Amino acid sequence: MSQLTDDRQNAVELSIGGMTCASCANRIERKLNKLDGVTATVNYATEKAKVTFPEGVDPQQLIAEVEKAGYTAALPAPPQPDQAEPEPQDELQSLRQRLITSVVLAVPVIAMAMIPALQFTNWQWLSLTLAAPVVVYAGWPFHKAAWTNLRHGAATMDTLISIGTLAALGWSLWALFFGSAGTPGMTHPFAFTIERTDGSGNIYLEAAAGVTAFILAGRYFEARSKRRAGAALRALLELGAKDVELADGRRIPTEQLKTGDRFIVRPGEKIATDGVIEEGTSAVDASMLTGESVPVEVRPGDAVTGATVNAGGRLIVRATRVGADTQLAQMAKLVEDAQTGKAQVQRLADRISGIFVPIVIALALGTLGFWLGTGDGAGAAFTAAVAVLIIACPCALGLATPTALLVGTGRGAQLGILIKGPEVLESTRRIDTVVLDKTGTVTEGRMTLTGVHVAEGESEEEVLRLAGALEHASEHPIAQAIARQARSQATVEDFTNVEGLGVQGIVDGHAVLVGRPRLLEEWSQHLPADLERDLHEAQAAGRTAVAVGWDGKARAVLVVADVVKPTSREAIAQLKALGLTPVLLTGDNEAVARTVAQEVGIDEVIAEVLPADKVDVVKKLQADGKVVAMVGDGVNDAAALAQADLGLAMGTGTDAAIEASDLTLVRGDLRVAADAIRLSRRTLSTIKGNLFWAFAYNVAALPLAALGLLNPMIAGAAMAFSSVFVVTNSLRLRRFK
């Protein structure tokens, strides 16, 4: 049982069966929410219900409540290690069979009704023979759902379809057996206008068969599109390795890995789970997980993520996170949560569709009564009423938001953007200011050797060889920055860390000093004028300068800094193009902050801010009328991320920051922040476009149907097209770049 628990509430995700439209989802939601302490959200597109309930409530009670409403519900089955998950093709296969049957039989019926030349003697009886199986067999899912809903005192779009098609078939049977329609030689010219007759000579078999075929086609393509919309999440879940070879030679399913296990990853294999490299060096391709195409070089001590591919040498990795704790599992959970949730605009659509069906039935009865009252005949009245029933199905309303969310969040996952929930989309629309943490967000977040200044006559290679070897023995971040760049293999003896000043030791027979100028001065090694100038210039720019000397003489100054990420300047330009004002927020001194801001193109800087005060900065901006997005990566950013109107956490940052954010950027590339905002806005725009066309379609078509200007068969085709249009429009998000 997939169940999460905190102190007071439990949560469970139920798989719902039997839903055919948004009205069904709305009805199940209302039923569950009537239970004390229960809060439920039912998603028609994903066919899942997220339910939170208090202690003392058994999930079986929730399932029973759904079944009382006429639907099925089940807790997700636990995965079997050696058993592949079956593809949910049953619904598609059944729909395909019914659709093929209805098309093969309905096309001749429609052709005979439309083309007088095909109306041979007794053609109407052949039409009945062909149309009856379409309405009864192919349309059986509609009639079954309508009957189930009727038993529970409810009405859905299936009710409209069932009543409309059965009424058309029933009227045709009456006209054929008791009216004049069964007379040999009867003709039935197809027209978009209503003939003024008593209806006893009119049959509507082409409408009954055509409507069934068109709506089945819409359902089939809708079901296929929904599967395509959720493909990104399924692909994400399938990224992981299926089995793994342990360091002792045993091969086991990935599900059996435990934290601390050591496993082997050969070139070309997927890394089984999150871990730390213990042996070997390689390049890791994380493109499937992050969207980043350039492989990352890794060595012992580096962390690696499950589902990424070892593109180079043989690695031995120690597992640090397994199962639901891995980054891949957490990404999938975030995406699924976002797809299952509902934005405010969808809640409005749900409320409308919940009352829409009864209103339409009343409108159809009113249309029938009006036309009968005007004396235009039963044929005109009946045709207009059936057209009203068929055209008004609120399928498109129910699909407008979920399908766009499915595709948008799935595409985001492929690009390394995780959207925490649908309400996030509405926040991105209003953002006008983006606050950027400096360290780890705009900059690399680690010290890097940026400059080597040598005294006259000295060799840069020799400076790095001796200084790098000595610094390699130190754990200080500045020392490690120099050591990484130098990659020296020289031998070090008598290494000593001089507290607060630097390090000293013997490297290949040379007495080497690396540290503050004061350390060298204690050994009477004074910087020459040109190196003194280089040191002061570096410090004025907010960088760290380290002096190097050996054998009684100062030889060089090394400059170390937290460098700006190569893509940060481009990212700032993209954020500005979105109409956002970037603000650099940092605890560093003003000089460092100004230098970084100038380099990337940020005009507004707030420096020397204590971690605890970052929240106050966000609050002040909000008090000034700004709608603020915050981008950060550290524990000290978590509170500010939570306070901001929109929080974006760098996926390379801490778990606390990611938990507090609304959007997670899996890659440490600031350009993804701009992509995330663009994708969110595009998804919201798609949702609104879908809802507009769904509403506009019903508003425009209902009066035409009520006025008798819409043939029921054309109404069925239009209704089916509206649903397919909404899903297809959502699928355009798959091309987002």
How does strand 296-298 pair with strand 243-246? Answer: unpaired
- For the CA atoms of 564, 568, 569, 573, what is the dihedral angle to 10 degrees? -160
Nearest to 527 by CA among 557, 558, 559: 557
Q: What are phi and psi of 588, to 5 degrees?
A: -70, 170
Name the strand (E) or helix (H) holding 516: none
Residue 671, classed as helix, strand or coil, is helix
Give yes or no: 437 in active site. yes
Please give the Cα distance from 479 to 463 (Å, whole number): 14
* 481 within 8 A of 448, measured Cβ to Cβ: yes
Residues in the chain, how many?
737
* 554 within 8 A of 526, measured Cβ to Cβ: yes
Distances (CA, A) of 582 to 438, 568, 575, 597, 672: 12, 12, 7, 10, 15
Copy the structure tokens of residue 174.
């009456």
For the chain, the maximum distance between any two Cα atoms, rounded to a whole number of angstroms, is 123
Please give the Cα distance from 289 to 276 (Å, whole number): 18
Please give the Cα distance from 454 to 145 (Å, whole number): 84
Q: Residue holding tokens 């476009």?
A: 689
Distances (CA, A) of 297 to 5, 240, 341, 735: 40, 21, 38, 30
Distances (CA, A) of 27 to 71, 146, 152, 321: 10, 14, 11, 41
Please give the Cα distance from 645 to 434 (Å, whole number): 10
Please give the Cα distance from 15 to 9 (Å, whole number): 20
Q: Which residue in the list 437, 662, 669, 675 is annotated as catalytic?
A: 437
* 587 within 8 A of 610, measured Cβ to Cβ: yes
Please give the Cα distance from 56 to 4 (Å, whole number): 15
Please give the Cα distance from 598 to 568 (Å, whole number): 12
* 65 within 8 A of 102, measured Cβ to Cβ: no
Please give the Cα distance from 31 to 65 (Å, whole number): 7
How many other CB atoms are found less than 10 A from the CB of residue 185?
10
Active site residues: 437
